Chain A
Amino acid sequence: AQSVTQPDIHITVSEGASLELRCNYSYGATPYLFWYVQSPGQGLQLLLKYFSGDTLVQGIKGFEAEFKRSQSSFNLRKPSVHWSDAAEYFCAGSLQYGNKLVFGAGTILRVKS
């Protein structure tokens, strides 16, 4: 069965520190992969996406993610976290363009000053 796993439910980092959020996928083929962010009371905003090609993907707000086929991973990174990055982050996958996204459980990021 297709699945996306985010092993960390909560992560706390200090403002200015680097961040890495983990995402692993289980699909029969390489899926299209996405990272979304959800601030409290808001909808999901797309941070970045990977379809093919360069395995290092740049997104909005200074985020990037690296696709690693050998590890079935698509981890999200940011070199220096800002207090405004505190939110919930979702990794998602799909086998086809635009449909049937399977979401991970989400990782709640807390930023301490």
Chain B
Amino acid sequence: DAGVIQSPRHEVTEMGQEVTLRCKPISGHDYLFWYRQTMMRGLELLIYFNNNVPIDDSGMPEDRFSAKMPNASFSTLKIQPSEPRDSAVYFCASSDRETQYFGPGTRLLVL
């Protein structure tokens, strides 16, 4: 298995632009998680899905952030409009109910 796939790996954008991060989970996993990692706040859970349904989005920082999972093999995290404080590494992880497996992350820089 290829593991969790994220794209792009790096994204540089200007403040106010829309950013879309993509994730393909491991086949057969029914949980999908989005995390954000910063020096100041460490690893934070933003939202997670079970069987494509959002279960807990309490970690989403504000309305500028949205996430979707239209099918079992694809999820997006969108930031609109982006701000410099959104600069971070965003990780997607999928779970087989026992263990979460992480993707390589998307390093986002908002100028």
Binding site for B on A (CB under 8 A): 34, 36, 42-46, 49, 51, 90, 97-101, 103, 105-106
Chain B residue numbers with a CB within 8 Å of A49 are 98-99
A99-B43 in contact (CB<8A): no
Distance between B50 CB and nearest chain A CB, rounded to angstroms? 8
Chain A residue numbers with a CB within 8 Å of B33 are 99, 101
The count of residues in chain B whose C-beta lies closer than 8 Å to any C-beta of chain A is 23
B91-A98 in contact (CB<8A): no
Q: Does B104 contact A (CB under 8 A)?
A: yes
Which of A36, A43, A103, A105 is packed against the most chain B CB atoms within 10 Å?
A43
The A/B interface has a contact count, at CB < 8 Å, of 48
B99-A103 in contact (CB<8A): no
For the complex, give the distance between the alpha carbons of A109 and B44 in Å. Answer: 21
Binding site for A on B (CB under 8 A): 4, 31, 33, 42-43, 45, 48, 50, 55-56, 91, 93, 95-105
A99-B95 in contact (CB<8A): yes
Chain A residue numbers with a CB within 8 Å of B31 are 98-99
For the complex, give the distance between the alpha carbons of A51 and B97 in Å. Answer: 12
A97-B97 in contact (CB<8A): yes
